[in-house]
Chains A and B, each alone.
Chain A
């Protein structure tokens, strides 16, 4: 079987003349990182890689960086999506930020991506990594010296452990075979249920402790594919003045609640906010909780059906559920 990286490069090469740019991943600053890659020339396509280090959700760049809604010619944007990334793409289509026709989508069924911080905690001496691959239930890391094997449960990102959509929802070309999710729909909100078992005061204590670590760097916001306000984010505007720039718990709490409320019924659970958080605050949980409420009340999941109108972005006097 051909290496998926090779297939990826070949598939893009076939259609490259119709594309303005290809969004994919390339090797990063060290052997345990991949980094987003914007390829505008066919000769650079061989930079592209696919491996369990390709964490970034490339949809984040569509509205904020590429302004993908404004196209100068009829050339398309090529983009690689994992299952979770594809939901963000669908959500952006639903909200009419982008149109489906603008994209050539290469979908990649994904077994999960590696949380390098967890990996380094288990094996701090890891260096000179040459290859990272998933084999069955294990992550195989080849270094110059030896081959390590880690159980996936210990090294994957949190989002991947609860992933229900490993297969892309929409694509023009699929690399590899669809895979079965690790968990069923009934376990989708298992991580939330764990926290909900706490008493209310304990729950408050938990969140105060977690959110107090926030340094208001806004990485969570910047990495979010659906945070589309760019320079107008109300975390920073003076009029209206929702938040002050003070770095105390109240303001941090408020900021994270606003972020979550803005994503209610929109969040596609790609987990980027949590992945990029330098303080490792489990912020995705708040958004997942709101998603659970939206699912219960309105029977809706974001980023599944490009034709469906998100329920909080419509006016229906006969609204059922609320």
Chain B
């Protein structure tokens, strides 16, 4: 083989602590290496040109580039060598930046390590052989998981583009958290008025099929061809018959049911419709509270239903959908503030969460938009807002900023002053984070036009005294202790990953961070993609963000889906595992360990059982190879012989050096 080696200086990123010229000189001594050089930016256009020229001039059959991580530019260089007529897999990249120049300032040691890394890559390349992809058709349907604003936007954009969309929503209505909000910052426009039409669009769009009150059971397959099992949870109401008239909810005697939509501020009936604008507007029975389902007596809803839609014998049902891409928009939940004993640990009825305040002030909420205290129904005169509850607090394991709370408490304080003009509003804050368009001005308006008193400092304690709550805090600007006799305390509860986010991630085979937010493929350059091809992210499931950002990301995910679907077929990755049937002993261990279910049994003509890899499902992770006792299953791009050859030269180098 004729091999060319290209050492990148990466400006000073590599050259500052690695003698790239020496590395190139040394590379010329290796077997099969006929050309070696260093260059300022190998990934740049002239850099790639140089590789292509060298391939032609020196008749190269394989190329090693020593530069950054292959995660950064492997694709770039593969494309470059392919353009020059080589097979794209006759290329190896040695990482002498992240693995070498960036970790130490010792030029001599770094250079030595870079030499070793290049030596190993050359040795691996010597065992490379051309690999070829095949083409598989794409199923141009998309699954959107989550029916919040981000999922709605993604679904509508995909549907408008002509794609078939399957939307799965865990709750009985779409709308997500935004449906619970009263107004939105910084324009104070009515949340329901801007969200409502979009929800209706989802229901009416002929390209969208909505599974509400359903959850993802399992996902198999791969980009272009996923198979998804969806569990439709029992609603005990035949939704094909139900018209959403609501007669049943008026007569249901089980009136003490938990009202999730109103954040527990109110109770509802066992058979209920979440809110008047619910999509789909269908009734469901909460089996935990229904008298018939718990005590076998009642059946009033069945008697009263004009269309005979009640089905007490309904069971969960699983349906299978086949899609080519998946957009995950599962949103968030609030941090549980009961961990803060100093704020009452959730025991004071007049210490409420930000979302509870939204329901309080919403015209469709339990008090029809009148701000009153949950405990006694009196109108509060002194309202205290506390920022960063469950955000920026390493002591409860949440060091991150939730990003939206500064803004929503400014909005809520404005609304409170609007609804009760003679009220006093106090905001305890650490810093004000208002980096969005018109956000800083909005906070200023709260302070200056609405007279909301901002106190920089934390609240140390809240305790009840008579009818009031005493809020003890500190004003760090004045350096004094502050005590407010409050009637209502609103905690700016932070953003936490959605309940069940990790379980879903495992079904989708995507990764999540330590807080349960899904990991994007690259924090800057691939914010919508995941590391599982064909699975995209939208909204807060990826990390805290506000409505405009969630909507933008929903559209971005839809665009990524459209890009994927703009082709009729996708190329399979040939960097996968393959079974040598003559060596396979048919033990089946590879089948047991494969995380992707990509290995199956194959019966040969003599009746013997062998393992067989499904090309399109295999992700090339190599667990099967590590498990296979006779090593009959090999990764095509990283064979045992290649790894052994790398180790061999590395150890030999150490002995001589």
Query: Using a CB–CB distance below 8 Å, which chain A residues touch chain B?
Result: 70, 95-97, 228-230, 232-234, 237, 239-242, 262, 309, 312-315, 317-318
The answer on a CB contact under 8 Å between B593 and A313 is: yes
Complex alpha-carbon distance, A85 and B593, angstroms: 27
**CB-CB under 8 A for A237 and B585, given A228-B629, A232-B630, A232-B632:** no
Complex alpha-carbon distance, A232 and B506, angstroms: 35
For the complex formed, measure the closest distance between the CB of B271 and the CB atoms of chain A, giving whole angstroms.
Answer: 37
Provide the residues of chain B in CB contact with A233, threshold 8 Å.
Answer: 630
Provide the residues of chain B in CB contact with A313, threshold 8 Å.
Answer: 589, 592-593, 627
Complex alpha-carbon distance, A312 and B607, angstroms: 28
For the complex formed, measure the closest distance between the CB of A230 and the CB atoms of chain B, giving whole angstroms.
Answer: 6
Chain B's closest residue to A97 (CB) is: B587
For the complex of A and B, 8 pairs with smallest distance between CB atoms:
A232-B630, A240-B640, A229-B630, A232-B583, A315-B595, A313-B592, A240-B641, A262-B629
Complex alpha-carbon distance, A241 and B584, angstroms: 16
The answer on a CB contact under 8 Å between A317 and B630 is: no
Complex alpha-carbon distance, A60 and B489, angstroms: 74
Complex alpha-carbon distance, A233 and B585, angstroms: 10
Q: A229-B585, A317-B595 are in contact. List 13 more A-B contacts (CB 8 A).
A: A96-B588, A229-B629, A229-B630, A232-B632, A234-B629, A234-B630, A237-B630, A237-B631, A240-B644, A241-B644, A313-B592, A313-B593, A313-B627
Check if B594 is an interface residue, CB within 8 A of chain A.
Answer: yes
The answer on a CB contact under 8 Å between B592 and A232 is: no
Provide the residues of chain B in CB contact with A312, threshold 8 Å.
Answer: 627
**CB-CB under 8 A for A228 and B587, given A70-B607, A241-B644, A242-B640:** yes
Complex alpha-carbon distance, A318 and B629, angstroms: 25
Check if B319 is an interface residue, CB within 8 A of chain A.
Answer: no
Provide the residues of chain B in CB contact with A97, threshold 8 Å.
Answer: 587
- Quick one: which of B583, B594, B623, B627 contacts A237, CB cutoff 8 A? B583
Complex alpha-carbon distance, A262 and B631, angstroms: 11
Check if B318 is an interface residue, CB within 8 A of chain A.
Answer: no
For the complex formed, measure the closest distance between the CB of A263 and the CB atoms of chain B, giving whole angstroms.
Answer: 9
The answer on a CB contact under 8 Å between A232 and B623 is: no
Q: Interface residue tally of chain B, by bracket?
A: 20 to 34
Check if B153 is an interface residue, CB within 8 A of chain A.
Answer: no
Chain A's closest residue to B593 (CB) is: A315
| Residues B609-642 near A (CB distance < 8 A) | 623, 627, 629-632, 634, 639-641
The answer on a CB contact under 8 Å between B641 and A239 is: yes
Chain A's closest residue to B586 (CB) is: A69
The answer on a CB contact under 8 Å between A315 and B594 is: yes
The answer on a CB contact under 8 Å between A314 and B592 is: yes
Complex alpha-carbon distance, A40 and B404, angstroms: 80
Provide the residues of chain B in CB contact with A242, threshold 8 Å.
Answer: 631, 640, 644
Complex alpha-carbon distance, A90 and B400, angstroms: 51
Q: Which of the listed residues B585, B607, B630, B644 has the most CB atoms from chain A within 10 Å of its own CB? A: B630
Provide the residues of chain A in CB contact with B631, threshold 8 Å.
Answer: 234, 237, 240, 242
For the complex formed, measure the closest distance between the CB of B607 and the CB atoms of chain A, giving whole angstroms.
Answer: 7
- Quick one: which of A230, A240, A309, A315 contacts B585, CB cutoff 8 A? A230
Query: Using a CB–CB distance below 8 Å, which chain B residues touch chain A?
Result: 506, 583-585, 587-589, 592-595, 607, 623, 627, 629-632, 634, 639-641, 644
Chain B's closest residue to A239 (CB) is: B641
**CB-CB under 8 A for A240 and B639, given A95-B587, A232-B583, A232-B585:** yes
- Quick one: which of B585, B595, B641 contacts A241, CB cutoff 8 A? B641
15 intermolecular pairs with C-beta atoms under 8 Å apart: A97-B587, A228-B587, A228-B629, A230-B585, A232-B584, A232-B632, A240-B634, A240-B641, A312-B627, A313-B589, A313-B592, A314-B592, A314-B593, A315-B592, A315-B594
Provide the residues of chain A in CB contact with B607, threshold 8 Å.
Answer: 70
For the complex formed, measure the closest distance between the CB of B385 and the CB atoms of chain A, giving whole angstroms.
Answer: 39
For the complex formed, measure the closest distance between the CB of B596 and the CB atoms of chain A, giving whole angstroms.
Answer: 9
Provide the residues of chain B in CB contact with A239, threshold 8 Å.
Answer: 641
For the complex formed, measure the closest distance between the CB of A68 and the CB atoms of chain B, giving whole angstroms.
Answer: 13
Provide the residues of chain A in CB contact with B644, threshold 8 Å.
Answer: 240-242
Complex alpha-carbon distance, A228 and B589, angstroms: 12
Provide the residues of chain A in CB contact with B585, threshold 8 Å.
Answer: 228-230, 232
Chain B's closest residue to A67 (CB) is: B608
Q: Which of the listed residues B594, B629, B631, B641 has the most CB atoms from chain A within 10 Å of its own CB? A: B629
Complex alpha-carbon distance, A240 and B642, angstroms: 9
The answer on a CB contact under 8 Å between B506 and A317 is: yes
Provide the residues of chain A in CB contact with B589, threshold 8 Å.
Answer: 95, 313
For the complex formed, measure the closest distance between the CB of A149 and the CB atoms of chain B, giving whole angstroms.
Answer: 45
Complex alpha-carbon distance, A314 and B588, angstroms: 11
Q: Which of the listed residues B592, B593, B594 has the most CB atoms from chain A within 10 Å of its own CB? A: B592
Complex alpha-carbon distance, A309 and B607, angstroms: 26
Chain B's closest residue to A95 (CB) is: B587
Complex alpha-carbon distance, A104 and B607, angstroms: 25
Complex alpha-carbon distance, A313 and B627, angstroms: 8
For the complex formed, measure the closest distance between the CB of B256 and the CB atoms of chain A, giving whole angstroms.
Answer: 37
Provide the residues of chain B in CB contact with A95, threshold 8 Å.
Answer: 587-589
Provide the residues of chain A in CB contact with B641, threshold 8 Å.
Answer: 239-241
For the complex formed, measure the closest distance between the CB of B328 and the CB atoms of chain A, giving whole angstroms.
Answer: 17
Complex alpha-carbon distance, A176 and B640, angstroms: 50
Provide the residues of chain B in CB contact with A315, threshold 8 Å.
Answer: 592-595, 623
Provide the residues of chain B in CB contact with A232, threshold 8 Å.
Answer: 583-585, 630, 632
For the complex formed, measure the closest distance between the CB of B288 and the CB atoms of chain A, giving whole angstroms.
Answer: 28
Provide the residues of chain A in CB contact with B623, threshold 8 Å.
Answer: 315
Complex alpha-carbon distance, A189 and B597, angstroms: 37
Complex alpha-carbon distance, A313 and B592, angstroms: 6
For the complex formed, measure the closest distance between the CB of B278 and the CB atoms of chain A, giving whole angstroms.
Answer: 35
For the complex formed, measure the closest distance between the CB of B472 and the CB atoms of chain A, giving whole angstroms.
Answer: 43
Complex alpha-carbon distance, A229 and B640, angstroms: 17
For the complex formed, measure the closest distance between the CB of B304 and the CB atoms of chain A, giving whole angstroms.
Answer: 47
- Quick one: which of B588, B592, B595, B634 contacts A309, CB cutoff 8 A? B592
For the complex formed, measure the closest distance between the CB of B389 and the CB atoms of chain A, giving whole angstroms.
Answer: 30
For the complex formed, measure the closest distance between the CB of B579 and the CB atoms of chain A, giving whole angstroms.
Answer: 12
Provide the residues of chain A in CB contact with B629, threshold 8 Å.
Answer: 228-229, 234, 262
For the complex formed, measure the closest distance between the CB of A303 and the CB atoms of chain B, giving whole angstroms.
Answer: 16
Chain B's closest residue to A313 (CB) is: B592
Chain A's closest residue to B623 (CB) is: A315
Complex alpha-carbon distance, A233 and B639, angstroms: 17
Complex alpha-carbon distance, A102 and B641, angstroms: 39
Complex alpha-carbon distance, A22 and B240, angstroms: 65
Provide the residues of chain B in CB contact with A229, threshold 8 Å.
Answer: 585, 629-630
